[in-house]
Amino acid sequence: MEDTRCFLQKKTHLRCGAQELSLTTPVVMGILNVTPDSFFSGSRTTTADAIAARACQMLSDGAAIIDVGAYSTRPGASAVPPAEELRRLCLALEVVRGKFPRALISVDTFRAEVVREVVAQFGAVIVNDISGGQLDAKMFETAAELSLPYVLMHMRGTPQTMQQHTRYDNLMEEVSRYLSEKVSMLHAAGVADVILDPGFGFAKTTAQNFELLARLEEFKIFELPLLVGLSRKSMVCRTLNVAPADALNGTTALNMLALAKGADILRVHDVKEAAEAVKLAEEIRNYELGIKN
């Protein structure tokens, strides 16, 4: 019986260079931060040995994608020059590509020049752009020219200013309109594989983040894969009055809800727990489909 979570034409496979990723079952994207100031200190890796160990652990725990970030995008984070961002990324990618050549990698950057250099040195990657092309006008054409999958996220402003831009007349309508306009631009530019990310924590209050999650299934109308990044974020920490280091339980609870509402990719710090949530959610889904049969 057809999976009732998906529309008939929903894209269920992504191509990244010679690799293809199936999204018929949700997958986990593991976060590999090569920054000294990411909001969750437990995710920071700045040496080759630490990078190798974390990548190995994530892959062993079930990560389908390793998301490498070299520019902290926590609220109020300091800007990082392109040369320093690229230096950090190259350190990580040299290690990951060298030790795990079959690993599917995404690069968390909003700079087209960084994407070009990374692809030139290390091959095809998924582009994970928090700015939706707003911070670099060449990003869409670059992703198209290099035939790269593109994660389109909703954000206002910059990482330094985004929490000054949380006023919405109608949150879901405005986020959906933004994504719709950007998807049209990406397709016009020639980007074949687009993944949507509603941008939890980016230009959103805690209440707005929970509204997005409660209404997540409304994004199915786009018939595109949906990435959800809730891991140890402020909506968990503020609600439970815990630090990021103590937010794993809350993260897992929200990830399970996101899966029930149609998430295809969970972007997380803790791969093992997220992979277990996916497995349990799939058991529930299979049971439901069996009942309908």
Tens of pLDDT, residue by residue over 92-105, are: 999 999 999 999 99
Q: What is the pLDDT of residue 6?
A: 40
Q: What is the pLDDT of residue 278?
A: 98
Q: What six digits make up the tokens of 89?
A: 């990324």
Max avg pLDDT among 25-39, 55-69, 74-88: 55-69
Per-residue pLDDT band at 4 (split at 50, 70, 90): very low
Average pLDDT, the chain: 91
Tens of pLDDT, residue by residue over 148-183, are: 999 999 999 888 888 889 999 999 999 999 999 999
Q: What six digits make up the tokens of 200?
A: 């939890």
**Domain topology for 13-292:** TIM Barrel (3.20.20)
Q: Which is more confident, 5 or 17?
A: 17
Per-residue pLDDT band at 8 (split at 50, 70, 90): very low
Q: Where are the alpha helices (DSSP H) in 100-201?
A: 112-122, 139-145, 171-189
What sign has the CA pseudo-torsion 170, 175, 181, 184?
A: negative
Tens of pLDDT, residue by residue over 234-266, are: 999 999 999 999 999 999 999 999 999 999 999
Question: Is a pLDDT exceeding 50 seen at residue 285?
Answer: yes
| 3-state DSSP assignment of residue 18 | coil
| 13-16 vs 19-22, strand pairing mode | antiparallel
Conformation bin of residue 262: beta by default, left when phi > 0, alpha when psi is -120 to 50:
left
| 3-state DSSP assignment of residue 168 | coil
Distance CA 272, CA 149 (A): 25
Distance CA 184, CA 204 (A): 24
What residues act catalytically?
A: 233, 267
Per-residue pLDDT band at 11 (split at 50, 70, 90): confident
Residue among 201, 212, 132, 202 nearest 171 (CA)? 212
Please state, as a whole number, how many other Cβ atoms lie within 10 Å of the Cβ of residue 231: 27
- The one-letter amino acid code at 97 reads R
Q: Where are the alpha helices (DSSP H) in the chain?
A: 48-61, 82-99, 112-122, 139-145, 171-189, 206-214, 234-240, 248-260, 271-292
Distance CA 82, CA 117 (A): 11
Q: What is the pLDDT of residue 291?
A: 59
| 194-197 vs 19-22, strand pairing mode | unpaired
